[in-house]
Structure 1
Amino acid sequence: MMRIIRSGLMNRIGPHRWDSHVLIAFLAFALVSLGMIALASEVAEGDTFAIDKMILTGLRHSDQAGLPIGPAWLSVAVADLTSLGSAAVLVLITVFALGYLLVVDKKSNAMFVAASITGGALLSGLLKAILVRPRPEIVPHLVDVSSSSFPSGHSMNSAIVYLTLAVLLARSEEDRHVQVYLIAVALTLTLIVGSTRVYLGVHWPSDVLAGWAVGAIWAAGCSLIARELQRRGAIERPVEGPVDGHSGN
């Protein structure tokens, strides 16, 4: 019976494109890391913030909590890079991506991308409003912040926007090299933005991991929906080549 069920599930969800496997791997990384922080903290001190605190304080000089480790230029660069997860930058990138899809006459893809990004942004705001966690105060913040801490809005929104855009744009491309490039850039940007939030002292590491996890789940869900819509002809497929099969490149 289990074999029959498993076979049915595999027939339903596979064969799937490699980009979905990348998202699943990233999601697993975020969830496992989050679980390890929680478990290690409980074992170490019975304090769910123990590992979070250790990481935050480890990024500052022991005798001067307001001074981050590393050369002076690094803190300036990190403060600049964290803007890649700001609402203004993410909206601008989304608009540019939608413009590209419209220019190449993929209007239904553009509509789906717009709906996916908008839905993700609404989810991010809802979670932050419900899960009100105070910002870390054990080290001075290097940038101004005002909202609650969990999950990290920059981390979650950058994962939602960059990963969702990369996957959906990759589904509009036939060339495997273009697909790999899009996914690699999206993952790099997502990791950079989340890491800067911890370095700047405005988020606990677990906030960032939770943001990455939710963003990856959202992007993976959008990928599955896009796959089904492409099968039904509701959104455009690549010009040539199968949507779900293995690429010949």
Structure 2
Amino acid sequence: MHALLSPAGRLWLRLRLNEIGPLLSLAGCGLFAWLFIVLADEVFEGETHAIDSTILLALRNPDNLADPIGPRWLEETARDITGLGGYTILTLVTVSVTICLLMAGKRGAAILLAVAVIGGTLLSTGLKIGFERPRPELVPHATQVYTASFPSGHAMLSAVTYLTLGALLARVQQRRRIKAFVMGLAVVTTLLVGVSRIYLGVHWPSDVLGGWAVGAAWASLCWFVALQLQRRGQVEKPGETSSPP
């Protein structure tokens, strides 16, 4: 198809393709930020309490609210999955991948990942302090918690970390099938972490939805910035290195 286009036509097509990524990332940031604002307003007004309570109670044995529904192995699995969104695991993953990127000469990508995760952590902490929503006491917690409830830090930071990692890995792949698998894995992991927080009774469902929304908004914003820096040569393009390995 490219061979049928004039040089001017090929240039126009290339520019159009280069604009799709920034436009999609900026649109995603706006959409998810708007969803978070709407949800936060509903939470602040107490409009989500009824549906939050219904969902939490539906996930517990009515004869023993300390017992989540399902076999014992499911509860243990939920604890394992929720650990994927904990500070320890996310810090280990972020530091390991950052070092790997630096060793590969991709300094720009390493800085992008570190800034995205650290910035997301600070944002999550600030939002928790700002809203100061108590943890649900409707059912006993099946794991320990130490911070405020809204938005879910596990849901938010897993979205920030895994979606950013997924995007970075997808950049270096040429086949669309592999790109789709990598991003799909990042999304599924993020969703499972959030669902595990609800199942274990440590978050209201609206906390998790809020965490997903603001986490996805932050990840989209970081990716938009990365694409702009890539255009200026401050972040490596796929296959490039900032220094000889």
TM over 0.5: yes
| Aligned residues of 1:230 and 1:236 also touching (Cα < 8 A) | yes
What is the deviation of 1:54? Answer: 0.2
Corresponding residue of 1:24? 28
- The aligned amino acid for 2:190 is T
Equivalents in 1 of 2:97, 2:184: separation in Å? 16
Matched, 1:15 2:20: yes
Aligned pair count reads 220
Q: Which runs of 5+ in 2 are unaligned?
A: 1-15, 241-245
What is the deviation of 1:220? Answer: 0.4
Post-superposition Cα deviations, 1:211-237, rounded to whole Å, max 9, x if no partner, equal 000000001001111111111111100
Q: Which runs of 5+ in 1 are unaligned?
A: 1-10, 241-249
Equivalents in 1 of 2:121, 2:77: separation in Å? 26
Is the partner of 2:20 in helix, strand or coil? coil
| Aligned residues of 1:19 and 1:183 also touching (Cα < 8 A) | no
> Structure 2 vs 1, CA of residues 92 and 187 (structure 1 numbering), >3 Å: closer, same or farther?
same
What is the deviation of 1:239? Answer: 2.5
For structure 1, which segment, 66-75 or 206-215, has the greater mean C-alpha deviation from structure 2 after superposition?
66-75
| Aligned residues of 1:173 and 1:239 also touching (Cα < 8 A) | no
Is the partner of 2:128 in helix, strand or coil? helix
| Aligned residues of 1:168 and 1:226 also touching (Cα < 8 A) | no
What is the deviation of 1:16? Answer: 2.1
- The aligned amino acid for 1:14 is E
What is the deviation of 1:14? Answer: 3.0
Counting aligned pairs with the same residue, the percent is 47
Post-superposition Cα deviations, 1:111-163, rounded to whole Å, max 9, x if no partner, equal 22212211111111111111100000011110111211011111111111111
- The aligned amino acid for 1:15 is I
What is the deviation of 1:80? Answer: 1.4
For structure 1, which segment, 94-103 or 213-222, has the greater mean C-alpha deviation from structure 2 after superposition?
94-103
Equivalents in 1 of 2:164, 2:239: separation in Å? 20
| Aligned residues of 1:230 and 1:237 also touching (Cα < 8 A) | yes
Matches within 5 A, 1:1-249: 14-16=19-21, 20=25, 24=28, 31=35, 38=42, 47-239=47-239
Equivalents in 2 of 1:74, 1:19: separation in Å? 37
Equivalents in 2 of 1:238, 1:174: separation in Å? 10
What is the deviation of 1:168? Answer: 3.1
Equivalents in 2 of 1:175, 1:110: separation in Å? 23
RMSD, aligned CA: 2.9
Is the partner of 1:15 in helix, strand or coil? helix
| Aligned residues of 1:172 and 1:236 also touching (Cα < 8 A) | no
Post-superposition Cα deviations, 1:169-207, rounded to whole Å, max 9, x if no partner, equal 433444434432321121111001100000000000000
| Aligned residues of 2:101 and 2:107 also touching (Cα < 8 A) | yes
- The aligned amino acid for 2:66 is G
Equivalents in 2 of 1:63, 1:112: separation in Å? 49
Equivalents in 1 of 2:216, 2:74: separation in Å? 28
- The aligned amino acid for 1:189 is T
> Structure 2 vs 1, CA of residues 69 and 19 (structure 1 numbering), >3 Å: closer, same or farther?
farther
Post-superposition Cα deviations, 1:42-63, rounded to whole Å, max 9, x if no partner, equal 9xxx853000000000000112
Equivalents in 2 of 1:19, 1:170: separation in Å? 15
Is the partner of 2:21 in helix, strand or coil? coil
- The aligned amino acid for 2:104 is V
